[in-house]
Structure 1
Amino acid sequence: MAESDEQLAERLATAAGAILLNLRTRGDLVGKDLGKAGDAEANAMLCRELRAARPGDALLSEEEKDNPARCDRNRVWIVDPLDGTREYGEGRDDWAVHVALAVGGAATVGAVALPGLGVTLTSGAPAPLRPANAPLRMLVSRTRPAAEAVFVAERLGAELVAMGSAGAKAMAVVRGEADIYLHTGGQYEWDNCAPVAVAQAAGLHVSRADGSPLCYNRPNPYLPDLLICRTELAADVLRLAAEYSPA
């Protein structure tokens, strides 16, 4: 039986995670050098395997030179071989591997490997959502929490939870460890396509920070803001985000 897109995404995200763990375990590289090597090795495998398995599809990777011809294709694989390079280089667990397929501009298939935790979450096998946390928990960047997110959290009475990569934060909502991930600090399509596919398959709300749809395979892959949250919280989060204005 032919491997489905969901199975392919899960297999490759997991395999890339294994490459990254093995590289870190060797111990001969640390910090930025480790992150650079990990990006290169995981990317080489992902791109090689995707081109072999789906030769008719386009490919957009953070670590590959962009080919504008991808915009003429209906199906494009969007990958981030190492999301959270800093966390990976520091020996932390809050980093991820993203493998996604966008069809017609929509995040359709996704796999997010969390190798440090030994799990890969996919759009093909969503787990039931857990009950909301009390108090609510809202994810922010470890190094540069967005002012809008802090504003929204204060008004919702939500606890701020600092975490590394975008994939790790998004999957924390999927896994029920948090309830809201609002990001306004700038991202690219590879930062959120796979997490969005997994989150929406799990029944979560996904959108831009203003509530508009997330669209992929654009000529400019910059996609600066993102909201992933429980559906019952979306209206309040979007309203409060719109109310925020810098001092």
Structure 2
Amino acid sequence: MSKSRMISDGELAAQLAGAARRLLLQVRDSGTFEGKALGSAGDAMANQFLCHAIRHLRPDDGLLSEEEKDNPERLSKGRVWIIDPVDGTREYGEERADWAVHVALAVDGVASIGAVALPDLDGGIVLRSDKPQALLPMPERPRFLVSRTRPAREAQAVAAALGGELVPMGSAGAKAMAVVRGEAEVYLHSGGQYEWDSCAPVAVAQAYGLHCSRIDGSPLVYNQPNTYMPDLMICRPEWAKR
């Protein structure tokens, strides 16, 4: 990608997520690493690629990555790229399908542009905020996405109150995109995350017409001094009020 070819932010996010997807699959398929070592190697290589590309192609923007030491200079920027090179490092290391690559651009604190790559689904897909599609019809009984290892009590309680069904899944990005893809209706998370866990998924989900907020309905704000985000709700708008 040449600096002279100034592609749109949406196209850039999608291209970077797709390229990181291919890199991560190459690292995994090489057979050089296994388990935690595979997760660490994939994180490091994808992060190096993404950060170098963003700094080269968008030198005036800020950058926040899970895999780099935070630079407070980003707080003075109106445009900040927020990335998670491997969302679901554990799942990637276990060679499962429920992991993702997140590339997002927050503008004035709002998740504005996002691309989420799902490398092991449907031959590898990238869902993007600049090319949303229509949502699929949904069943009467809502399906709630929860952690496959630590399902939140709040999500279980709300699902029970609404007559919902629990669907265990790995990474945050995989869960959020399952709502986008019509595989579930609600992703309610109360166990705490960081900005890179949700910025790209929220940008994509909002573009598709989904409701995205804190679990009390307040807005999600990005590029904050403290990157911790206590909770998150992404759901079909028909279920948001209830």
* TM-score bucket of the superposed structures, by smaller chain: over 0.9
2:69 counterpart of 1:65: yes
Note if 1:201 corresponds to 2:207: yes
Q: Normalising by the residue count of structure 1, what TM-score does the alignment of the two structures yield? A: 0.94
- 2:182 corresponds in structure 1 to 176
1:55 corresponds to which of 48, 56, 59: 59
Tell me which residue corresponds to 2:49: 45
Residue deviations 1:70-128, cap 9 Å, x none? 10100000000000001001110000000000000000000000001110000000110
- The alignment status of 1:149 with 2:165, answered yes or no, reads no
User: Residue 215 of structure 1 corresponds to which residue in structure 2?
Assistant: 221
* 2:57 counterpart letter in structure 1: A
Counterpart secondary structure, 1:99: strand
Does the alignment pair 1:89 with 2:93?
A: yes
The one-letter code sitting in structure 1 at the alignment partner of 2:98 is: D
SS of the equivalent of 2:47 reads helix
Distance (whole Å) between structure 1 residues aligned to residue 51 and residue 6 of structure 2:
19
- Residue identity opposite 1:89 in structure 2: G
Q: Secondary structure at the match of 1:116?
A: coil
Give the letter for the 2:66 counterpart: E
Give the equivalent residue in structure 1 for 2:34: 30
SS at match of 1:79: strand
How many Å separate the matches in 1 of 2:22 and 2:78? Answer: 30
1:228 to 234, 237, 240: 234
Return 5+ residue gaps in structure 1 as ranges.
Answer: 237-247
Corresponding pairs, count = 236
Distance 1:157 1:19 in 2: 41
* Structure 1 vs Structure 2 CA RMSD: 0.7
Residues 103-114 of structure 1: matches in 2 within 5 Å?
A: 103-114=107-118
1:19 aligned to which of 20, 23, 27: 23
* Aligned mates of 2:6, 2:54 — CA distance in 1: 14
Aligned to 2:125: 119
Shift of 1:198: 0.1
1:133–1:178 CA contact under 8 A, matched in 2: no
Q: Which runs of 4+ in 1 moved over 4 A?
A: none
Output one character per residue of 1:43-70: Cα deviation in whole Å (capped at 9) or x when no partner.
Answer: 0000000001100000000001101111
Contact 1:84 1:165 in 2 (8 A): yes
Distance 1:9 1:96 in 2: 14
Report the secondary structure of 2:228's partner residue: coil
Q: Post-superposition shift, 1:2?
A: 2.6
